Amino acid sequence: MGMKSKEKMIVEGKRLDGRTPDEIREIEMKVGVIPNANGSARVSFGRTTAVAAVYGPRILHPRRLQEPDTAIIRCRYNMAPFSVDERIRPGSSRREKEISKVTRLALEPALFLEKYPETVIDIYIEIIQADGSTRVTGINAASLALADAGAPMRDLVVGLAGGKLDDTIIIDLCGKEDNYSVADIPIAFLPRKNEITLLQMDGQLNPDEVKTIVKNVLNAGKKVYEKQKEALKKKYHK
Amino acid sequence: MRHDYVLKLLESGERLDGRKLDEFRDIKIEVDTIERAEGSARVKIGKTDIIVGIKMDLGEPFPDVPNQGMLRTGAEFSPIASPEFNPGPPGEDATELARVVDRGIRESECIDLEKLCLKPGEQVWTMFVDIHMMNHDGNLIDVSALAAVAALMRTKMPELEDGKINREKLKEKLPIKHIPITVTVGKISDKFLIDPTKEEEQVLDSKLMVAVMEDGKICAMQKSGDQGLSEEETSRMIDLAIKKSKEIRKLL
Amino acid sequence: MTEVRKIVLPGEVLGDSKEKKSGYGTFEEEGGVISKFIGIPKETHDYISVIPLSGVYTPKRQDKVIGFITGVERVGWVVDINSPWLAFLPVSEAVDEFIDLKKTDITRFYDVKDVIYAQVDNVKRGDIKLTMNTPVARKLRDGITVKIAPSKVPRLIGKEGSMINIIKDKTNTVIRVGQNGVVWLSGEGVKKAIKAIKMVDEKSHIIGLTNEITKLLSD
């Protein structure tokens, strides 16, 4: 993982932004932010903001891509040009393509698709502002957008990253922590049965550390799950 | 069918949402929405919702204007914003949108580009104006142009330390000279209207986009749509655009 | 705050599958009945089900739908019924008289852009057949259509038609509601009626909606 920092990133148990190791940044979630979409949501973890829109199920063209007994999922993760310090040139990078794929795989197990043969459900995720943990923020937004779209689901999908910084296990890495971390593990899971649907890692950790991070993320993820439920209900409690 | 109904209404001077023909929908301007951009604004007009972010970078000037900073405007019709948009490189409409917004900024001399020159012929500031669409319900050009100037007005230049950009330190505002306001006037039969929704746009005969300066001077125009305009119609549309631009200007 | 009906979410366990069976909008897993949707739960003596608050229209046999003719083929019409799939209306289900398909231009019955009120005859995967062989089926002329969330159609109709009748009476408008979420209107009070219909669409989950609609229409 990333660069070596000369200075310590965690001083007296506090992180750069004053958080404790197991503290999540301020979370904001809003459902129904894009009127044109069948479902949509905006999710922020600190300065990271993702907006997701779901279109469909709708008939899939060209025909040869259709599945006779199920809907298929298409997913696009995209970063806005102004979402980071150095402007990103529009158009999908290799990184964005890979994240699009793992995001799709993280969401698919939560969906019942067999009722919608020959169709596609398009999930579009835009990272409006990036400060670490963008893919899991995008997954939270997509989970809410799918539920808002009325897609039949087994469960919501919760995303959260964990990692190791200096010698400390931390949760919800911001951009700078991501750059200087020893390791970073983004995770997505279906909370009812703690079924993990996304698990990636880069960096170096011993097996015990990996297991601790996974356990901590599943645990802290309950808070993210509660926020998702609150946001969905809020749409109808205005 | 719905289109026929919208058409019939407009021809009789009415609109489905009850607005007058020369009335804008609700306009909301939010600034500094993207902390990581050097300037940003989000403008909603009715259900159309657009974010513009400004990034500043160093670049080499064009050889024909060696002492001027550069302006680059881009627009993507993000698939997030409408069921008709597909992922992929910008198409005709997105390119036109970016170019019309760019022209309004450029031709009004909105930014004093000479003040953005660091070393003539070698190094100048480049402003990237990126138009990011969140929801499309018509009148994309007016909304984008308004968001672009609102974002430019808030943009602060990053500090230079040993010739390198330090984005943690933003200081001076951009040298703004003029503020163009773009108003599109649509025409249907003998009626003119402002701020069409997506549904209304589909039945318009033609459109004229007019960028207006503080003093009422016009700095850019573009006609679109498949029907022609007479001289008299053109002049009435220009007058209406100028009148409406004054209302919009007050919101900035 | 307005009073709201109870809302459940996808993945929420609603009951014990030994006590009640899994009904519409739910599934059974490891002894629990679980919601598939964000929606309003309904419990009967035997079943737990969930009425979704959003989602696309999935055609079911015998549904009455409003469709738009989008294509004319040799033996029938292609119809957009506001679902992920296009439907097909065969000539034999639309016209009583005998027609020699070789000699007849069937656009004299229905043509592209026509709006019809029809019944779903058969659904096989993505293959949907319509019929006009039912007393209420007809071509809808000189009106306007609006769309609402298909899941909110029952609310728009109301108990024994109570809601839709209020809107019809107070606006002096002819209204037909398709189970696919397409509503067709004709008459003088169309604009006002649309306003009321949009309100039902947006606030279908609140208690006392009928009163609010009556108020809106009396202003």
Instruction: List, for residues A160-215, the tens digit of each pLDDT value.
Output: 999 999 999 999 999 999 999 999 999 999 999 999 999 999 888 999 999 999 99
> Which A positions 1-30 lie with beta carbon below 8 A of chain C?
none
Contact state of C11 with A150 under an 8 Å Cβ cutoff: no
Contact state of B130 with A87 under an 8 Å Cβ cutoff: yes
How far is the C-alpha of B9 from the C-alpha of B227, rounded, in Å?
20
How far is the C-alpha of B178 from the C-alpha of B45, rounded, in Å?
23
Any idea which of B31-45, B139-153, C1-15, C122-136 has the lowest mean pLDDT? C1-15
Residue C144: its chain B contacts at CB < 8 A?
A: 1-2, 5
- Cα four-point dihedral sign B140, A142, C204, A57: positive
Residue B5: its chain C contacts at CB < 8 A?
A: 144
Mean pLDDT of A105-127: 95
Contact state of C10 with A56 under an 8 Å Cβ cutoff: no
| Closest partner CB to A56 (pick from C4, C53, C84) | C84
Distance from CA of C51 to the nearest CA of B (A): 26
Q: How many CB pairs under 8 A join B and C?
A: 12
- Cα four-point dihedral sign A88, A89, A90, A91: negative
Whether the predicted pLDDT of B102 surpasses 70: yes
Last residue of a domain, one of C87, C118, C140: C140
Task: Select from B78, B70, B131, B76 the least CA-distant residue to B106.
Answer: B70
Q: CB-based contact (8 Å) between A156 and chain C?
A: yes
Average pLDDT along chain A: 94
How far is the C-alpha of A6 from the C-alpha of B120, rounded, in Å?
38
Whether the predicted pLDDT of A70 surpasses 70: yes
Last residue of a domain, one of C82, C110, C140: C140
Instruction: Count structural domains, chain B.
Output: 1
DSSP assignment, residue A91?
Answer: S
Residue C64 · residue C117 · CB < 8 Å: yes
User: In order of start, what are the domains of chain A with their CATH numbers?
Assistant: 27-235 (3.30.230.70)
Whether the predicted pLDDT of A73 surpasses 50: yes
Distance from CA of A35 to the nearest CA of B (A): 7
Residue A145: its chain B contacts at CB < 8 A?
A: none
**B1: pLDDT confidence band, cut at 50, 70 and 90?**
very low
CATH number, domain of C172, equals: 3.30.1370.10
Shared domain check, C73 and C125: yes
Last residue of a domain, one of C99, C124, C140: C140
Mean pLDDT of C156-167: 93
Shared domain check, C152 and C113: no
Tell whether C166 is covered by a domain: yes
Residue C122 · residue C129 · CB < 8 Å: yes
Task: Select from B150, B144, B38 the least CA-distant residue to A84.
Answer: B38
Contact state of A59 with C84 under an 8 Å Cβ cutoff: yes
How far is the C-alpha of C64 from the C-alpha of B38, rounded, in Å?
55
Residue A85: its chain B contacts at CB < 8 A?
A: 36, 167
Whether the predicted pLDDT of A2 surpasses 80: no
Query: Tens digits of per-residue pLDDT, A128-149?
Result: 999 999 999 999 999 999 999 9
Which residue does chain A place closest to C8, by CA atoms? A233
Instruction: Count structural domains, chain C.
Output: 3
Task: Select from B184, B39, B170 the least CA-distant residue to B111.
Answer: B39
Q: How many CB pairs under 8 A join A and C?
A: 85
How far is the C-alpha of A216 from the C-alpha of A204, rounded, in Å?
18
Which residue does chain A place closest to B73, by CA atoms? A81
Residue B185 · residue B210 · CB < 8 Å: yes
Better pLDDT: A145 or B92: A145
Whether the predicted pLDDT of C124 surpasses 60: yes
Tell whether C4 is covered by a domain: no
Whether the predicted pLDDT of B76 surpasses 60: yes
Mean pLDDT of B25-30: 98
Whether the predicted pLDDT of B193 surpasses 50: yes
CATH number, domain of C116, equals: 2.40.50.140
What is the predicted pLDDT for the residue at A5?
60
Tell whether C5 is covered by a domain: no
**A6: pLDDT confidence band, cut at 50, 70 and 90?**
low
DSSP B18-70: ---TT----EEEEE---TTSSEEEEEEETTEEEEEEEEEEEEPPPTTSTT--E
> In whole angstroms, how far apart are CA A130 and each of A2, A85, A86, A134, A174?
17, 9, 11, 6, 9
CATH number, domain of C30, equals: 2.40.50
Whether the predicted pLDDT of A1 surpasses 60: no
Tell whether C59 is covered by a domain: no
How far is the C-alpha of A75 from the C-alpha of A73, rounded, in Å?
6
Shared domain check, C72 and C48: no
Shared domain check, C92 and C45: no
Which residue does chain A place closest to B198, by CA atoms? A36
Contact state of A192 with C13 under an 8 Å Cβ cutoff: yes
Residue C36: its chain A contacts at CB < 8 A?
A: 112, 152-154
Q: How many CA atoms, within 13 angstroms, populate the side-chain half-sphere of residue B155?
A: 30
pTM to 2 decimal places: 0.90
Distance from CA of C3 to the nearest CA of B (A): 27
Q: How many residues are recorded in chain A?
A: 238
| Closest partner CB to A116 (pick from C4, C10, C84) | C84
Tokens of A33: 């932010």
Whether the predicted pLDDT of A3 surpasses 80: no
Whether the predicted pLDDT of A219 surpasses 50: yes
Q: CB-based contact (8 Å) between A70 and chain C?
A: no
Q: Structural domain of residue C132, as residue ranges?
A: 64-140
Contact state of A36 with B136 under an 8 Å Cβ cutoff: yes
Q: How many residues are recorded in chain B?
A: 252
Residue B136: its chain A contacts at CB < 8 A?
A: 36
Q: How many CB pairs under 8 A join A and B?
A: 92
Whether the predicted pLDDT of C1 surpasses 60: no
Query: Tens digits of per-residue pLDDT, B213-240?
Result: 999 999 999 999 888 899 999 999 999 9
> Residue C174: beta bridge partners?
C186
Q: Which chains sit next to B, with 3 or more Cβ pairs under 8 A?
A: A, C
Q: What are the residues of chain A with a beta carbon less than 8 Å away from any beta carbon of chain B?
A: 33-37, 40, 47, 51-53, 55, 58, 76, 78, 80-87, 90-92, 122, 124, 126, 128-131
How far is the C-alpha of A195 from the C-alpha of A190, rounded, in Å?
5
What is the predicted pLDDT for the residue at A93?
87
Burial B40-75 (b: 16+ CB within 10 A, else e): bbbbbbbbbbbbbbbbbbeeebeeeeeebbbbebbb
Mean pLDDT of B134-162: 96
How far is the C-alpha of B190 from the C-alpha of B118, rounded, in Å?
52
Which residue does chain A place closest to B46, by CA atoms? A35
Residue B87: its chain A contacts at CB < 8 A?
A: 76, 78, 92, 124
Tell whether C2 is covered by a domain: no
Shared domain check, C98 and C80: yes
> In whole angstroms, how far apart are CA B174 and each of B61, B114, B151?
18, 11, 10
What is the predicted pLDDT for the residue at B8?
82
Task: Select from B49, B30, B27, B26 the least CA-distant residue to B40.
Answer: B30
3-state secondary structure string, C2-56? CCECCCECCCCEEEECCCCEECCCEEEECCEEEECCCEEEEECCCEEEEEECCCC
Contact state of A76 with B35 under an 8 Å Cβ cutoff: no
Query: Tens digits of per-residue pLDDT, A103-114?
Result: 999 999 999 999
* Location of structure tokens 């067709």: C184
CATH number, domain of B136, equals: 3.30.230.70
Q: Which chains sit next to C, with 3 or more Cβ pairs under 8 A?
A: A, B
Which residue does chain A place closest to C150, by CA atoms? A150
Contact state of B1 with C191 under an 8 Å Cβ cutoff: no
Q: Structural domain of residue B66, as residue ranges?
A: 2-249
Query: Tens digits of per-residue pLDDT, B111-126?
Result: 999 999 999 999 999 9
What's the angle, vertex CA B117, arms to CA B121 and CA B54, rounded to 5?
Answer: 120
